[in-house]
Each structure stands twice: as C-alpha cells, then as structure tokens.
C-alpha cells in the first residue's frame, strides 16, 4: 500500500493495509496474517474473537507497534510506522498506546500505585505529577483505597484493574487489550469490562481480543480472526 492510500485513512487511529506476518519455521514459512486490511477509528470499541492460533495475538502485537509486519503498511495517527525511527516508535508507544495483558504484567513486589505510576517510567513526567495521575487512574478503576497495597496480595480482578489503570493513567489514543478477562472469574470479568466501557465512553479507542463471546455486547464492532484474516462477524 502506498503512502497516499494510508493518508486517506488518517481519520483512523490505526490503519493496516495489505499486512502479512510470516514466521520462518523448520517446515518453511508460516503465514500467520495474510493480506490483512484493518482500521479502527478514534472512539471505536472493536472486539476480535477467533479460535486459538488464528493470529489474534500476532495481530495485537502489530496493532500495538510491538512488532513489524513482513509485508504491508501500518499507519498510526496518519504516520506510516515503518518510516519512524526507534525513538519515534517508542514515543508513539509510550504516549499514545495503552496495553492490557491477559496475565496483567504487573511488578508484583511493588504497590498498586507504583505499578500504575510505572506507566510514566519512560515519560518525562515529574514524579509528583506521575503519582497524582496514577492515583487518579486507580480511583477511576475503583481502587483508590488500595493504592499502597502490594499487588501480589490482590485478587485477579483487582490486579487486572491495576493493569488497566496503568494503561490509561496517561490517556491513550488506543487501548489494546489481549484477553483481559481470560484469567478472571465472571464477576471480576464483568467489573473489568465495565471499566472498559467507561473508558470507551470517555472517547478512547479500544481494541480487545477475547475468547469470551459474552463481552461482545460492549463492542461497537465485532471482527473474527480466521486463518490469518479479519472478517466482520455475521
């Protein structure tokens, strides 16, 4: 895809055109994503489902700019990602993308507040300001009273809410979540999804991958990943 074509999609927070992701294996090249086109507009809530091994996580890695495509073009906020330097790419990641992981990815020996403030570790925010924003984000996910608690002592639902608070402590343009309720019981999963819903209502674009079909009611768009391609769900 040309730069001209990407510029036509500048309205999208994230745009992919003709994206392939191929891994070299002993049995030959493995095409995990095939000629994939995708856009997510600011404020959209896109949920992607699909069977295991269909390429969802690989897609999310590309969407969160943690990986590069084998072929094709990815644009974020209208800028072609492949043209960015490492510094610029890292700046996009830290300033404009929030990430939530299935297993939370928390620093378990630190407190909830420290984990959320870690969002600012590579941002030039003063420590006091980072702490204030972290407290605010924890309050937003309903954990204001547990800011000083070590996360290893928290429940799975609470840990995931800490992880979400970390992702949104600095307001991202795009929040990417990989199976955020995968390790949670039903009640915790509902609580977490309510948090996502509130963030969506706040105008943050959310891209969420899940196996849990019951979460689809929160989505503005549902895509199915199948054989390395994304299709709108029927």
Partner 1 sequence: MSGALRDIADDIRARPGRAGLSFLALAVGMTALTVLLAVLGGLRERARKIVEELGAHVFVITAPPADGAAQARAALDARHVELLRAHLADGAATGIRIFDGVSAGGDRLARVFAADAALLEARPWRVADGRFFDAYDLRNRERVAVVSETLAVEWNLRVGGVLSLGEAPFRVIGLLRIGADALASETADATLLPGDRAVFVPRTLPPYWLGGRGADESALDAIYVRAPPGASVERTVELARGLLAQPDQRIEQLSVLTPEMLLQRLRKWQDTIRVTAGSIALLCLILGGTTLMSLLVANVRERVTEIGLRRALGATAADIAGLFVLEAILLTAAAALVGAFGTGAVLWLSRERFPAPLQLDAFVLLAPLAVAMVLGAAFSYWPARAAARISPAEALRNE
Q: What residues have CB less than 8 Å from 213, skipping those under 6 apart?
A: 49
Residue in the block written with tokens 């403030």: 117
Find the shortest distance in angstroms from Cβ 87 to partner 1.
6
- Is the Cβ of residue 3 or residue 90 nearer to partner 1 in the bound state? 90
Name beta bridge partners: 225.
230
Report if residue 64 touches partner 1, rule: CB under 8 A: yes
- Is the Cβ of residue 14 or residue 219 nearer to partner 1 in the bound state? 14
- Is the Cβ of residue 90 or residue 139 nearer to partner 1 in the bound state? 90
Near partner 1 by CB under 8 A: residue from 32, 47, 74, 99: 99
Q: Identify residues 103-142 at the interface with partner 1 (CB under 8 A).
A: 103, 105, 107, 109-110, 118-119, 121-123, 127
Near partner 1 by CB under 8 A: residue from 34, 79, 93, 171: 93
CA–chain centroid gap for 187, Å, is 22
The secondary element (H helix, E strand) that includes residue 128 is helix 127-140
168 touches 174 (CB < 8 A): no
Of residues 209, 158, 167, the one with CA closest to residue 185:
158
Is beta strand 205-209 parallel, antiparallel or unpaired with respect to 97-100?
A: unpaired
Give me the residues that bind partner 1 (CB under 8 A), please.
57-58, 61, 64, 66-67, 86-87, 90-91, 93-95, 99, 101-103, 105, 107, 109-110, 118-119, 121-123, 127
């Amino acid at each position: 895809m040309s730069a001209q074509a990407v510029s036509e999609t500048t309205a999208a927070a994230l745009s992919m055109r003709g994206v392939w992701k191929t891994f070299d294996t002993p049995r030959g090249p493995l095409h995990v994503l095939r000629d994939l086109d995708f856009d997510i507009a600011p404020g959209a809530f896109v949920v992607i489902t699909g069977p295991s091994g269909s390429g969802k996580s690989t897609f999310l890695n590309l969407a969160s700019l943690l990986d590069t495509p084998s072929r094709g073009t990815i644009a974020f906020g209208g800028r072609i990602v492949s043209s960015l330097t490492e510094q610029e790419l890292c700046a996009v990641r830290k300033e404009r993308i929030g990430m939530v992981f299935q297993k939370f990815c928390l620093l378990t020996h630190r407190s909830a507040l420290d984990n959320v403030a870690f969002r600012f570790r590579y941002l030039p925010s003063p420590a006091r300001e980072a702490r204030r924003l972290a407290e605010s984000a924890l309050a937003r996910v309903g954990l204001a009273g547990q800011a000083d608690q070590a996360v290893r002592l928290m429940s799975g639902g609470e840990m995931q809410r800490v992880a979400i608070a970390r992702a949104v402590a600095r307001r991202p343009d795009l929040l990417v979540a990989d199976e955020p309720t995968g390790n949670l019981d039903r009640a915790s999963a509902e609580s977490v999804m309510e948090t996502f819903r509130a963030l969506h209502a706040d105008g943050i674009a959310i891209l969420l991958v899940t196996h849990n079909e019951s979460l689809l009611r929160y989505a503005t768009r549902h895509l199915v990943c199948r054989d390395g391609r994304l299709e709108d769900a029927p």
